[in-house]
Amino acid sequence: MTRPLPSRADLVEYNHAVAGHDGTLCDIDGELFIKPCTPAEIAFYEESVASHPEFAEYMPTFLGTLILDEQQSASLEEQGAALLATHTAGHLQETEVPVAKHTVPEVVVPIKTTKKIVTDLAVVLENAAHGYVKPNILDVKLGVRLWADDAPMEKQIRFDKVTEETTHKDLGFRIAGMRVWHGPGAKGQDIDGEGFKIYDRNYGRYSVQKENVHEAFQKFIFVESAGIDDELGQLVAQAFLTEVERIQEILEGQESQMFSASLLFVFEGDGIALRAALEEASKPPPTLTNGNQHPGDESEDDEDEPIGPKIYTVKVIDFAHAQWTPGRGSDENSLVGVRSVAKILRDLGRV
């Protein structure tokens, strides 16, 4: 089954990016997320889906690619965080893309850099924030070393400075941005019109250190004004931990190299909706009442059955500098950060 990609006229600016940058697009329903990328990133998606299915389950769902109008090609931040110049006049060529089975891909966080790569390619993903009432979003940038082997010396020096000055040095990760719902009618500094508090890239650069990094994760998960009390927050932390430990296991068992990839966390930030979703998920599946149907029989309408409300997701994102590297061992540079995040979630999830 395939679905046609919307025309350029049907695409709108994506407004759930963690740091609120311009340029990324989505369809009118918010189900598709479209961002410019390099051929290397597309190749990594394709190879992962074809040859590394366990890892692919934790990637953004890759639906296909678009060719941007060469007259109006968008620009991509070299850092791989997909910050691009506002793109209004160009159009996207339509293509047919297969609909994948698994869900919830990428939301990006911009990182300032002066050098950009011009690309006429865009990757089409399923939107991580779609389906939530109030999606809370956290981007955790992984790695002690942030630059790829082919990075120019100027970039190596600049990124090494970022490592030295942030939690990358000791923990192997940095909070790149957060978007956290603070409840109906919330107002205050950095709270947008929908009641979300925005923690931009400067938060992780200058406000979060090794000593207070637990507090930063607490701000993301435990929000009493939004109805996320200790009980719900601990359940979210435990659920996140299960996924992060699985990602750790997969990365330890495969040979890859990713620089400046991220862990993306999304969960239902409305406490009432979250509790209702958890209750719905805990209900036993309905029993068969049709005497002519037996367990194991497949209905033609199975794929159209309604899916329950979203609760949470964890994905690995941002593959501008990622490759599979047979014979070179597991990606210890990224794993330092994955293990550190797992430890924090383990602490927060303790009852």
Residue 83 pLDDT exceeds 80: no
For 100, residues 6+ apart whose C-beta sits below 8 A from its C-beta are: 61, 62, 63, 126
What is the pLDDT confidence band of residue 197, given thresholds at 50, 70 and 90? very high
Residue tagged 């109006």 (tokens): 72
To which residue do tokens 């850092």 refer? 79
Residue 26 CB coordination number (10 Å)? 22
Which are the contacts of 211, defined by CB distance < 8 A and separation ≥ 6?
none
Q: State the pLDDT at residue 13.
A: 56
Helix (H) or strand (E) holding 255: none
Euclidean distance between CA atoms 90 and 258, whole angstroms: 31
Whether the pLDDT of residue 349 is over 60: the answer is: yes
135-272+309-348: what CATH class?
alpha beta
More confident residue, 83 or 224: 224
User: Does the pLDDT of residue 351 top 80, yes or no?
Assistant: no
Report pLDDT digits (tens) over 128-141.
Answer: 888 899 999 999 99
Bridge partners for 125 per DSSP? 33, 62
Q: Is 347 a residue whose pLDDT tops 70?
A: yes
Q: Which of 39, 106, 115, 71 is nearest to 262 (CA)?
A: 106
pLDDT at site 289 = 46
Q: Which of 12-21, 27-36, 173-182, 240-249 has the lowest mean pLDDT?
A: 12-21
Is the model's pLDDT at 111 over the cut of 50?
no
Q: Which of 111-125, 182-196, 216-230 has the lowest mean pLDDT?
A: 111-125
Question: Which range, of 106-110, 123-127, 296-300, averages the lowest pLDDT?
Answer: 106-110
More reliable by pLDDT, 320 or 115: 320
> pLDDT band at 89, cuts 50/70/90?
very low
Per-chain mean pLDDT for the chain: 80
**Residue 310 reports pLDDT greater than 70:** yes
Predicted pLDDT of residue 207: 98
**Position 118, amino acid:** V
Q: Kindly state the tokens that stand for 223.
A: 């929000």
- For the segment 67-94, the average pLDDT, to the nearest whole number, is 37
Is this prediction's pTM over 0.75?
A: yes
What is the pLDDT averaged over residues 19-25? Answer: 47
Confidence of residue 110 (pLDDT cuts 50, 70, 90): very low
Residue 187 has pLDDT above 90, yes or no: yes
Report pLDDT for 19. Answer: 38
The predicted structure's pLDDT at residue 128: 80
> Which H/E stretch holds residue 97?
strand 96-98
Query: Would you say residue 161 has pLDDT above 80?
Result: yes
Taking residues 191-219, what's their average pLDDT?
96
**Which whole number is the average pLDDT over 80-86?**
30
Write out the H or E segment, with its range, that includes residue 27.
strand 25-27
Q: Tokens 């993301």 — which residue?
A: 220
Domain boundaries, the chain: 2-126, 135-272+309-348
pLDDT at 88: 27
**Contacts for 50 with CB less than 8 Å, ≥ 6 apart:** none
Task: For the chain, report the end-to-end CA distance as a whole number of angstroms.
Answer: 45
Distance CA 138, CA 32 (A): 19
The whole-number pLDDT of residue 101 equals: 33
- The C-alpha atoms of residue 286 and residue 8 are separated, in whole angstroms, by 42
pLDDT greater than 60 at residue 16:
no
Cβ atoms 311, 275 nearer than 8 A: no
322 DSSP β-pair partners = 258
Q: How far is CA 228 from the centre of its chain?
A: 21
Confidence check: pLDDT of 49 > 80: yes
Checking if the pLDDT of 206 tops 90, the result is yes
pLDDT by residue (tens digit) across 233-265?
A: 999 999 999 999 999 999 999 999 999 999 999
What span, in angstroms and rounded, lies between the C-alpha atoms of 196 and 181?
A: 4
